[in-house]
Amino acid sequence: MLFSCEKPILNEEDANDTPKTITFQLFSPAQARTTRSAAAITDFKKIYIYDSKGGYQEQLLEQSADDPDFGSPTITLTGGHHQLTFAATDNADAYLDGSVLRQETMGDTFLKTIDINTQNAPANQRIVLERVVAGILYKGEGTVTLSGLRNGLSLSSAKPAKATTTKTLSTGQQLYTLVPDDETVVMDGKRNIHILQNAFTVIYDNDGTHTDPEDPTNGEYLLTENDTAQIYVARMELTDITLENTPDPQAAYAAQMYPYRMPTRREAYGFVKKELPEDFWTGARCLAYDRPEDKGFLGATGWGSGDYYTFTWGPNGTSNKAGTKTAYSIKPIRVVPIVPISQSFTLDGDFTWSTDTTTVVKF
């Protein structure tokens, strides 16, 4: 009888069934906005990790602030493709109802969902969580009753649960709520109030005649100005962002940055010559997006790649292509035209408009 010494042929599924142990280091973006910000994971009291594979729950883990590895959980995953959802809150009374995270009084709550293939996943990963609550502050007289508030977060779908609750606020009181798909809550049963994730909405009276969002541009810095536009830099800075965990940060953090945005590489070409005020920037390298429409900028090749680049603020700043594993920051900006214009304009690296003609719209 003959025996073959060849190794058996394994299919991809068999080759990928080895469990993988991964340590995740969790962060929340440190930023100065009208919302109270949790600058470090130690500001949280509860952390939850929901692990699913093929649409089915594999495991659901909970951490409390007194756990020795709080904020740096180590998880063993079965082999294959997984989706992990991380949730954190500063409410110590948060609890699980099945796979729904519930908070009778909503705390400042952060979330992040990632996809992982254990076959090539690194053993240590950094995860930057994103705020998923809106804040509401009442500054009017008497009281106001808000309905349609959400305090249940489905970890399996990473969306607010459908059940709603009602709260009454007195002058000076505030609350957090998860943001439903229609981005509204109802005031006194008769008025829809628009709310936004990662921003506060201020209600000035209870008859619905004066409601507006708190100005998110407080404390911004006017970087430069010419005859057609002003460029402002936000006081906020999003930190500890890696392209490995967030391949498209300008889209992932768009709501969090609003009304600001990530600079383009073309804009950063001029920012490396600009200085920011003291304590306005952490000194970390900042991300910029190389837009495809900027191909051929300054008559040079290599522009418009669609990749992310990094830069440091002047006067001796530099710009380089971003790596995937290094942690970077985003320092958002907003460009404000001085006059209404009826055609599209873009900024050159020296902050002049690409054309010297404007069409003023008369209202």
322-343 pLDDT tens trace:
999 999 999 999 988 775 444 4
Q: Mark whether 327 and 240 lie in a shared domain.
A: yes
pLDDT at 361 over 50: no
Distance CA 103, CA 145 (A): 19
Q: Is 148 helix (H, G, I), strand (E, B) or coil?
A: strand
The confidence band for 138, taking pLDDT boundaries of 50, 70 and 90, is confident
Final residue belonging to a domain, choices 145, 180, 213: 213
Question: Which of the two residues, 153 and 208, has the higher pLDDT score?
Answer: 153
Q: What does DSSP assign to residue 9?
A: P
Distance CA 163, CA 104 (A): 12
The confidence band for 61, taking pLDDT boundaries of 50, 70 and 90, is very high
Query: How do residues 268-316 score in pLDDT, each as one tens digit?
Result: 988 888 889 877 888 899 999 999 998 988 788 889 999 999 999 877 7
Distance CA 96, CA 268 (A): 45
Query: Which of 15-19, 48-52, 68-72, 172-176 has the lowest average pLDDT?
Result: 15-19
Quick one: which of 193, 184, 197 has its CA closest to 212? 193
Q: Mark whether 51 and 125 lie in a shared domain.
A: yes
> How high does pLDDT run on average in the chain?
81
The confidence band for 42, taking pLDDT boundaries of 50, 70 and 90, is low
CA-CA distances (angstroms) from residue 324 to 157, 208, 266, 273?
27, 48, 21, 25
Distance CA 37, CA 348 (A): 35
For residue 99, is it within any domain? Answer: yes
Question: Which of the two residues, 195 and 349, has the higher pLDDT score?
Answer: 195
For residue 197, is it within any domain? Answer: yes
CA-CA distances (angstroms) from residue 308 to 133, 261, 299?
28, 14, 20
% of the chain residues with pLDDT over 90: 44
Q: Mark whether 302 and 330 lie in a shared domain.
A: yes
Q: Mark whether 170 and 226 lie in a shared domain.
A: no
Q: Mark whether 317 and 225 lie in a shared domain.
A: yes
For residue 13, is it within any domain? Answer: no
Phi, psi dihedrals of residue 47, rounded to the nearest 5°: -130, 140
For residue 356, is it within any domain? Answer: no
Q: Mark whether 194 and 229 lie in a shared domain.
A: no
Q: Mark whether 29 and 100 lie in a shared domain.
A: yes
Final residue belonging to a domain, choices 213, 239, 267: 213
Domain that holds residue 116: 21-130
pLDDT at 32 over 50: no
Q: Mark whether 319 and 235 lie in a shared domain.
A: yes
Which residues make beta-bridge pairs with 225? 230
The confidence band for 345, taking pLDDT boundaries of 50, 70 and 90, is very low
User: Residue 47 belongs to a domain with what CATH number?
Assistant: 2.60.40.2100
Q: Are 315 and 273 in contact (CB under 8 A)?
A: yes
For residue 360, is it within any domain? Answer: no
Question: Which of the two residues, 326 and 212, has the higher pLDDT score?
Answer: 326
Q: Mark whether 119 and 76 lie in a shared domain.
A: yes
For residue 167, is it within any domain? Answer: yes
For residue 12, is it within any domain? Answer: no
Q: Mark whether 140 and 200 lie in a shared domain.
A: yes
User: Residue 309 belongs to a domain with what CATH number?
Assistant: 3.10.100
For residue 306, is it within any domain? Answer: yes
Query: Which of 27-31, 96-100, 103-107 has the lowest average pLDDT?
Result: 27-31
Query: How do residues 66-78 score in pLDDT, each as one tens digit?
Result: 898 898 999 999 9
pLDDT at 7 over 50: no
Q: Mark whether 238 and 196 lie in a shared domain.
A: no
pLDDT at res. 339: 53
Provide the number of structural domains found in the chain: 3
The terminus-to-terminus CA distance of the chain in angstroms comes to 95
Q: Mark whether 108 and 183 lie in a shared domain.
A: no
Final residue belonging to a domain, choices 189, 213, 237: 213
pLDDT at res. 172: 86
